């Protein structure tokens, strides 16, 4: 998380985008268990546009870059995912204070994104959503960085927490989204959004320079 300028931001966004496109079928299959099965499809449709227009995205500053991504996601991703993920990017953009993105700035952006998701989705940790993987992962990231771990090690540790937390949603009762309508049937399978976050963290851990 200590890369300066756009390097770290671009790596995170591009990794997220590629992961969403590569795992379209997998994420949709997960969502189909108790949801409407469109999570993977919807996410891929937005992020494939991000990849297709990658070289043309405005890089005047970090905030502008992230706002452009947010607009694409909000307009191209269908269902409830578009507003949630779009809001996350928009809030991260608002928290991007400079082009020198170190650990403190990165964490502030992630916390802002989390707050945006909570407010937009009227959800929190424990509701069986992507927050159940994202929040523990960011907590772990912050803790490892505060302990003096390097960025690569901290991201790898956060990815492991994200995976364990995402798998842990299997025992939860869904309280938000289409899955909430299935009641007790939502217990026994992990939340697709949480798994999506875990896979993104895992891919980022593999791509982050040591």
Asked whether residue 1 is assigned to any structural domain, the reply reads no
Helix axes 81-95 and 39-52, enclosed angle (nearest 10) = 40
- The two counts, helices (H) then strands (E), for the chain are 9, 0
Q: Is residue 155 one of the residues assigned to a domain?
A: yes
* Distance between CA atoms of residues 88 and 114, nearest Å: 7
Task: Examine residue 132 and state whether it is found in any structural domain, yes or no.
Answer: yes
Say if 2 falls within a structural domain. no
Q: What pLDDT, on a 0 to 100 scale, did the predictor assign at position 55? A: 96
- What does the block give as tokens for 21? 């496109």
Position 176 in a domain: yes
Residue 16 phi, psi (nearest 5): -60, -45
The verdict on residue 194 lying in a domain is yes
Whichever domain contains 120, its CATH number is 1.25.40.340
More confident residue, 91 or 175: 91
Predicted confidence (pLDDT) per residue in 147-160, tens digit: 999 999 999 999 99
Residue with the two structure tokens 């409830």: 80
Domain that holds residue 78: 7-207
Task: Report the pLDDT averaged over residues 40-58.
Answer: 96
Any idea of the CA torsion for 22, 88, 112, 166, to the nearest 10 degrees? -50
Q: If residue 15 lies in a helix (H) or strand (E), which one and from where to where? A: helix 7-22
pLDDT tens by residue, 67-110: 999 999 999 998 888 999 999 999 999 999 766 788 899 999 99
Question: What whole-number distance in Å separates Cα of residue 162 and Cα of residue 200?
Answer: 9
Residue 46 lies in a domain: yes
In a domain, 67, yes or no: yes
What was the pLDDT predicted at 184? Answer: 54
Counted domains in the chain: 1
Does the pLDDT value for residue 179 go beyond 70?
no
């Amino acid at each position: 998380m200590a890369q300066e300028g756009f390097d770290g931001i671009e790596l995170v966004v591009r990794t997220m985008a590629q992961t969403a496109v590569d795992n379209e079928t997998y994420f949709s299959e997960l969502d189909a268990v108790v949801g409407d099965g469109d999570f993977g499809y919807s996410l891929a449709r937005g992020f494939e546009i991000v990849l297709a227009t990658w070289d043309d995205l405005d890089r005047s500053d970090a905030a502008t870059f992230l706002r452009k991504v947010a607009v694409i996601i909000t307009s191209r991703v269908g269902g409830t995912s578009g507003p949630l993920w779009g809001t996350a990017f928009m809030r991260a953009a608002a928290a991007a204070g400079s082009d020198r993105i170190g650990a403190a700035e990165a964490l502030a952006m992630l916390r802002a994104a989390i707050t945006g998701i909570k407010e937009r989705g009227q959800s929190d940790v424990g509701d069986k959503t992507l927050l159940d993987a994202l929040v523990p992962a960011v907590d772990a990231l912050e803790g490892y960085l505060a302990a003096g771990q390097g960025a690569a090690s901290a991201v790898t540790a956060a990815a492991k927490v994200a995976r364990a937390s995402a798998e842990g949603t299997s025992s939860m009762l869904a309280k938000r989204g289409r899955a909430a309508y299935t009641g007790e049937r939502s217990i026994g399978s992990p939340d697709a959004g949480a798994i999506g976050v875990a896979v993104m963290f895992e891919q980022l851990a593999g791509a982050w320079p040591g």
